[in-house]
Amino acid sequence: MRISKFIPYFAFALGACSLDSGAGRGEEPLASRTDELVGGRVPTEAEYPATVHLGGCTGVKVGPYHFLSAAHCFSGSEQYLSVTAENEPTTYQTLTISSVNIHPEYANCTACANDGSMSDFGYRPDVALIVVQEATPSIPEAVIDPTPVLVGDPVTLSGYGCENGVGQPSGPARFKVGDTEAVDPFELSGATSIPDGYVTTFGPAIDEDSPGLCPGDSGGPLYRTDTNLVVGINALVSYQIGSGTPVGNWHTRLDEESRYDVWSWLQGLLGTDPTTPCSDLCGPPEVFTSQWYSSSNLGTGARCFETTASLTSGNCGGFAGSRTLSINGVTQSCDGQNWSLPAKRNGGYCIQVSAGEQAWAWFTTW
């Protein structure tokens, strides 16, 4: 999480975690953001099920292959995304990343003085959309709300971060939510850039009944209470030095009236499908995930298979006449000899089988 000293009684976090004496913000490695909401409650399984744990940050599924999180959680060069919707995570699904889309004004802020101030923070839309290659049908999708949040609107914070305050001991990550309402940004900061960029809420240091963010909640969705509508992404928390108690929470605005119209930027990305190994080759593919796979009898029709598993080789047999098998467009011999695999294509392999004989033709991978 990001942390910077601001005034003597509180500092900022939610992206970095090294407190400096100046106004600068550091970056904490993603892997160390392992710690849930300060205050709040553990939700039922039916509440906000699109919220996911990303290992060190939180995120939300907003499309069949699309996960929304905070830009400061990603460098843009990641190849895999570890995702789980478990309340207390024990297992993760590893997804192949097709693209990490960080808002261009976060990566290169044209209005910033680059002085680490709250004004600079307000100009940076801390949001990223990650597109993966594998579908996750067991995780439902949330909807991004284009309507601005007004002061006094009921909202719900969510996340998998620490729950005892910044810098305080915390147990294993678990999913928590907390109901509160949006407040006037100027009650937390005098920076005029904040209102167009962020929805703000009080932490328990100001209102003991309000929840607060903590490292690990980064990228978590802010919902309209009791709905599936996402109106913000957790970006920053101010907290009391010493106790670590949150003072205020900042959530990146996603609506169509936000600075840079973040909603339209996201809609453009959500309208694109991921690039997969079989893109432009064949489809719809039959997807397999294990390195060890057997097709069984292929029948006589054309078939298309796709995987992002790390294969070492494979072979095929029972092919007669002009029937062929190709991997990423490269024809393979089907006489029982082991394959020499071509280079991966879009993170994996596309196996195409043409129509023909015999019905008992087969292939296997390992």
pLDDT digit string (tens) for 219-268? 999 999 999 999 999 999 999 999 999 999 999 999 999 999 999 999 99
Give one DSSP letter per residue of 220-284, joined into a string.
PEEEETTSSEEEEEEEEEEEETTT--EEEEEEEE-STTSTT-HHHHHHHHHTSPPP-TTTTT--S
In this structure, is residue 8 part of a structural domain? yes
Same domain for 191 and 298: no
In a domain, 281, yes or no: no
| Residue 39 zone, left/alpha/beta (φ > 0; ψ -120 to 50; rest) | left
Its pTM stands at 0.76
In a shared domain, residues 252 and 346: no
Helices (H) and strands (E) in the chain, counts: 4, 23
- Indicate the residue among 222, 238, 270 that finishes a domain: 270
Q: Same domain for 256 and 290?
A: no
314 within domain boundaries = yes
SS3 of residue 120 by DSSP: helix
The residue type of 43 is P
* Residue-wise pLDDT tens digits, 107-136: 999 999 999 899 999 999 999 999 998 889
- Residue keyed to tokens 């991004």: 144
Q: Look-up: residue for tokens 């087969």?
A: 362
Q: Which two tokens stand for residue 146?
A: 């284009």
Whether residues 246 and 101 share a domain: the answer is yes
CATH classification of the domain holding 84: 2.40.10.10
Q: What local confidence, expressed as pLDDT, does residue 203 receive?
A: 97
Same domain, 138 and 265: yes
Which of 128, 76, 116, 112 lies closest to 233 in space, CA to CA?
A: 128
What pLDDT, on the 0 to 100 scale, is given for residue 76?
Answer: 87
* Phi, psi dihedral angles at 186 (to 5 degrees): -70, -10
Q: How many folded domains does the chain comprise?
A: 2
* Residues 25 and 158 occupy one common structural domain: yes
Position 10 scores a pLDDT of 56
**Same-domain pairing of 13 and 59:** yes
Separation CA 134–CA 274 (nearest Å): 9
Q: Which amino acid is at 281?
A: L
Look up the domain containing 73 and give its range.
Answer: 4-270
Which residue carries 């850039």 as its tokens?
193
DSSP state, 311? Answer: -
Q: Give how far Cα 206 sits from Cα of 138, 211, 245, 248, 326, Å.
A: 38, 10, 10, 8, 64
Question: Do residues 175 and 121 share a domain?
Answer: yes
In a domain, 278, yes or no: no
pLDDT of residue 346: 85
- Residue 120 has a pLDDT of 95
The series of mean pLDDT values per 10 residues for the chain, 366 residues long, is 37 45 26 57 92 96 96 92 93 90 96 94 97 89 98 98 92 94 97 98 96 96 98 97 95 98 96 84 91 97 94 96 96 93 91 97 97
- Residues 353, 238 within the same domain: no
Q: Which residue is it, tokens 């996750």?
A: 136
Q: For 112-171, where are the alpha helices, taking DSSP H only?
A: 118-123
In this structure, the answer to whether residues 117 and 252 fall within a common structural domain is yes
Looking at the structure, do residues 261 and 297 belong to the same domain, yes or no? no
